[in-house]
Structure 1
Amino acid sequence: MSLLSLSSPGWGGVLLMGLLMSLQVAIGGYLLGLLIGIGGAAGKLWGGPILRDLLEVYTTVVRGVPELVLILILYYAGTDAVNQLMQLLGLPAVDISGLTAGIFVIGVVQGAYSTEVLRGAILAVPPGQLEAARAYGMSPLLSLRRITFPAMLPYAIPGLSNLWLIATKDTALLAVVGFAELTLVTRQAAGTTKAFLTFFLAAGALYLMVTLVSNLIIGIIEKRARRGFARPEGAA
């Protein structure tokens, strides 16, 4: 257990720093994906035919290609594309940090799934509620804020919750591009000390802790969002 102590020669502090980096990427990527999902769902539902076709290609490609392949493509090709654009504009190349690139990669992947989750949640809102809002003379924005958003939230939360848990685990894939998140520092610690079982069990425990805490918070949010909803017969 001395290998897991927070002070040297233990690696506990290094593992916690790796966990912190993983959480930063997961939170940033999840929020970016949520923003992309909101725009994507709106575009698929209310956009023109060209926009809908482009969004359909985006969601199909991202959901059809393995995430590890997407991460490799986006991580390297994305940073190269930014620097080439800067060069065309006559600007100096920028040094994109691993944290920024990781958030961008996870965000693009999450955005495709968030688009479909939010689109399905909006379509699940009973049409009669929207017709009633129009009959009362509500503007589209007012109807979205008072009717659509509150009504769609209970349908969206389960899917968005799963995406958050996926985002926390997808950060481990960034180890293949050398980003110092939890999985990579665990491999480094295990390779240095040869205590592979100890360190990978510790990393698994940290991932599990994040999942358990997330499930607790998600349960509170879901319970609050479902206030006033009728319970199915026989439900506790």
Structure 2
Amino acid sequence: MQQFSYFELIGFGPNGWGDALLLAAAMTVAVAFCGYLIGAMIGALISWAKITGNRPIRFFAETYTTILRGIPDLLVIYLFYFGGSAALGAVGSLFGAKGFIGLPTFLTGAMAIGVVSAAYQAEVFRGAFNSVARGEIEAAKSMGMPKFLMFRRIIAPQVLRFAIPGLGNVWQLALKESALISVIGLVELLRQSQIAAGSTRRPFDFYITAAMLYLVITLISTIIFKRAEEKARRGIRRA
């Protein structure tokens, strides 16, 4: 087998894997971002249930966060993929379909990341809400401000301001979880590195490249969240 230099392997020439690795890195960001958004929507609802719900609703919300934070993320991915495929197969059998029907791997991965991320984002939102000054909320109520207007102008901006650091940490978790989706066949960064390593028999070269790409994504993400935090705290005097 012809041996190529490291830069030839990760480059964009005829023997390079650079374009495939960058496409896989984009897939990693895409599936993590979609899962993160799903988690934000579910997490906001779970947080609301913990704060304002009655006892059964709060019990459901607490159970959700306890279970999803307590079981391995890989198990959640398997449950979504094989459980969803089994349900899809049962429906398909009613129309004459036979055999295994697999769910789209991107959708499965995004949903799995989303439900796990929601458990963490719910706690972030709840903690941020508890940091909002109660006096501002009471003042808005005393002025007869409608609940939706109070939420839009007072609660939501301050909750987001306090939540940004925690949400940044949850985003980093979502990026790491995206690597687990390779087990169901999605060609993201880790899976593409495995394919390239197997084809060239140069595993170290591709795995160290994947590590560097993950670090680049993490660094860019950290900068974005830090700037968002600084913008959210603009005009706020710090102790």
Structure 1-normalised TM-score? 0.91
Contact 1:33 1:110 in 2 (8 A): yes
Secondary structure of 2:34's partner?
helix
The offset of 1:174, in angstroms, is 1.0
Contact 1:79 1:101 in 2 (8 A): no
Contact 1:43 1:52 in 2 (8 A): yes
Amino acid aligned to 2:17: W
Match of 1:122 among 125, 129, 136: 129
Q: In the alignment, which residue of structure 1 is the partner of 2:48?
A: 42
Q: In the alignment, which residue of structure 1 is the partner of 2:23?
A: 17
Q: In the alignment, which residue of structure 1 is the partner of 2:194?
A: 187
Change (3 A) 1:4 1:46: same
Unaligned runs of 5+ in 2: 1-6
The offset of 1:83, in angstroms, is 4.5
Amino acid aligned to 2:222: N
The offset of 1:92, in angstroms, is 7.2
Residue-by-residue CA offset, 1:4-50 (whole Å, 9 max, x unaligned):
12233211111112111111101100000000011111111112222
Contact 2:84 2:103 in 1 (8 A): no
**Count of matched residue pairs:** 231
Q: In the alignment, which residue of structure 1 is the partner of 2:61?
A: 55
Match of 1:96 among 83, 100, 103: 103
Unaligned runs of 5+ in 1: none
Amino acid aligned to 1:143: M
Q: In the alignment, which residue of structure 1 is the partner of 2:35?
A: 29
Q: Are 1:134 and 2:141 an aligned pair?
A: yes
Match of 2:155 among 148, 156, 173: 148
Match of 1:166 among 167, 173, 178: 173
Distance in 2, matches of 1:82 and 1:115, equals 30
Contact 1:44 1:52 in 2 (8 A): yes
Among all aligned residue pairs of Structure 1 and Structure 2, give the percentage whose two residues are the same amino acid: 39
Structure 2-normalised TM-score? 0.90
The offset of 1:88, in angstroms, is 9.0
C-alpha RMSD over aligned residues: 2.0
Change (3 A) 1:92 1:38: farther
Amino acid aligned to 1:190: A
Q: In the alignment, which residue of structure 1 is the partner of 2:119?
A: 112
The offset of 1:140, in angstroms, is 1.0
The offset of 1:145, in angstroms, is 0.7
Structure 1 stretches of 4+ with a deviation exceeding 6 A read 88-94
Change (3 A) 1:59 1:90: farther
Contact 1:7 1:13 in 2 (8 A): no
Contact 1:37 1:111 in 2 (8 A): yes
